[in-house]
């Protein structure tokens, strides 16, 4: 029998949803769960006592991303609280649905769907949010290094233009890919995120140049992960990969140019997967069926491609690669210990 692969560590995450609670407990539970940085206040609810809210939160390196959907509420962070709790982070709020408005750093700010706003946890704020959905990226002040904005300039800053849209797209991509990201990929993704935020706050040619390589590397990893998950799909194509990643086909082709092109990469990964299956004594059936199941439309074409890649035919590979006896199963990885959102927020940057 095949030796099971050990579990690979993924990005720590947690989820919270008030829907499973009695209505009378929903708002208090939400306030206690997310109130580490703000006082959370609910507007008058009329006859209905409940409060529906949910959030998925990922901790990747020194950063936190929250993907939330809530009913209307208000947030207040006083100057006294900012001094007392010592939470010295920036947060970037991207509205996906709904609107918000409030007072930040002496300016009145209004944001709707697609708006992206920088908020400084060292300064007070008072905001009101409608029913809606949002993404929030929280990062320690030291993450931005020398490009940190002056306090009077950063708090409440709306990020517009091409760079603001790129950062918003990056946050959406994080929400899509963090649930499947491996721990070994986090460092490069953190670097890409930091450089892109820095480029938005200090849009110099040098900052843009620093942002491009880690963003390209992160996009390439996301594309490879998507391809790996869909090797069995005969319809898998560069156009589908580009659409899933939210990039143009020309961008995708540039990413895979060092790999010999995206078509060659997909074919190579399919051949490698079939070679692994041929070496597995538990894999039965015809070789041709394996080829068809991995997107090859011709048995002859598959055999030629396999021999060109590995120097032997698929039948020879099956005969020579299978072990003489079963391998002992490997021990499974232990589950990571659970942590809570308050501890994550307070530990950022430590």
Tokens representing 308 are: 């060109």
What average pLDDT does range 172-199 have in this prediction?
87
**What are the domain boundaries of the chain?**
13-229, 232-326
Most confident of 63-72, 77-86, 330-339: 63-72
**What is the maximum span of the chain, computed from C-alpha positions, in angstroms?**
74
Contact 17, 56 (CB under 8 A): no
Q: Which two tokens stand for residue 212?
A: 């491009």
pLDDT over 50 (residue 7): no
The pLDDT, as a whole number, for residue 204 is: 54
Whether residue 185 has pLDDT greater than 80:
yes
Across 72-98, average pLDDT: 89
Q: What is the mean pLDDT of residues 6-25?
A: 84
Q: What is the pLDDT of residues 274-289, one digit of tens each?
A: 888 888 888 888 888 8
Query: Buried (b) or exposed (e) across 225-256, using 16+ Cβ within 10 A?
Result: ebbeebbeeeebebeebbeebebeeeebeebb
Kindly state the tokens that stand for 269: 């990964």
The residue-averaged pLDDT of 317-339 equals 49
d(CA 220, CA 295): 22
- What is the predicted pLDDT for the residue at 336? 35
Span 145-173, average pLDDT: 75
Mean of pLDDT over the chain: 81
Task: Please report the pLDDT score of residue 104 as a whole number.
Answer: 87
Helix (H) or strand (E) holding 223: helix 205-229
Class in CATH terms, 232-326: mainly alpha
User: What is the pLDDT confidence band of residue 45, given thresholds at 50, 70 and 90?
Assistant: low
SS3 304: helix
Q: Is it the case that residue 113 has pLDDT exceeding 90? A: yes
Q: What is the mean pLDDT of residues 44-53?
A: 75
In the CATH scheme, what is the code of domain 13-229?
2.60.120.10
Task: Count CA atoms within 13 Å of residue 87 on its CB side.
Answer: 27
Confidence (pLDDT) at 248: 83
Cα distances (angstroms) measured from residue 93 to each of 32, 113, 167, 234: 20, 11, 11, 39
- 120 class by beta-carbon count within 10 Å (0-12 exposed, 13-18 middle, 19+ buried): buried
Tell me what pLDDT residue 146 has.
55
What mean pLDDT comes out for the span 67-83? Answer: 91
pLDDT attached to residue 151: 46
Contact 138, 72 (CB under 8 A): no
Q: Which residue matches tokens 């939160």?
A: 57
């Amino acid at each position: 029998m095949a030796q099971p692969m050990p579990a690979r560590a993924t990005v720590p995450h947690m989820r919270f949803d008030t829907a499973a609670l009695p209505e009378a407990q929903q708002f208090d539970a939400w306030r206690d769960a997310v109130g580490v940085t703000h006082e959370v206040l609910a507007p008058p609810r009329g006859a209905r006592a409940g409060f529906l809210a949910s959030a998925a939160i990922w901790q990747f390196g020194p950063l936190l991303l929250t993907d939330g959907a809530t009913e209307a509420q208000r947030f207040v962070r006083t100057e006294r609280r900012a001094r007392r709790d010592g939470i010295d982070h920036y947060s970037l709020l991207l509205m996906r649905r709904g609107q918000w408005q409030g007072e930040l750093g002496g300016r009145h700010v209004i944001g709707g769907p697609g708006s992206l706003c920088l908020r400084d946890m060292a300064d007070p704020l008072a905001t009101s949010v409608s029913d809606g959905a949002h993404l929030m990226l929280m990062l320690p002040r030291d993450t931005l290094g020398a490009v940190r904005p002056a306090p009077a300039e950063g708090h409440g800053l709306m990020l517009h233009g091409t760079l603001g849209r790129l950062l918003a797209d990056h946050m959406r991509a994080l929400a899509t890919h963090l649930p499947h990201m491996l721990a070994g990929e986090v460092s490069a993704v953190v670097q890409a995120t930091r450089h892109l935020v820095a480029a938005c706050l200090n849009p110099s040619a040098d900052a843009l140049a620093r942002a491009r390589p880690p963003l390209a590397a992160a996009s390439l990893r996301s594309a490879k992960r998507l391809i790996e998950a869909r090797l069995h799909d005969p319809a898998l194509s560069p156009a589908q990969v580009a659409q899933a990643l939210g990039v143009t086909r020309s961008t995708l082709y540039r990413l895979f140019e060092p790999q010999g092109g995206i078509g060659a990469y997909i074919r190579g990964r399919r051949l490698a997967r079939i070679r692994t299956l041929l070496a597995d004594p538990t894999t039965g059936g015809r070789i041709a069926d394996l080829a068809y199941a991995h997107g090859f439309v011709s048995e002859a074409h598959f055999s030629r491609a396999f021999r060109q890649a590995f120097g032997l035919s698929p039948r020879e590979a099956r005969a020579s690669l299978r072990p003489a006896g079963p391998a002992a199963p490997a021990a499974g990885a232990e589950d990571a210990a659970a942590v809570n959102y308050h501890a994550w927020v307070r530990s950022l940057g430590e």
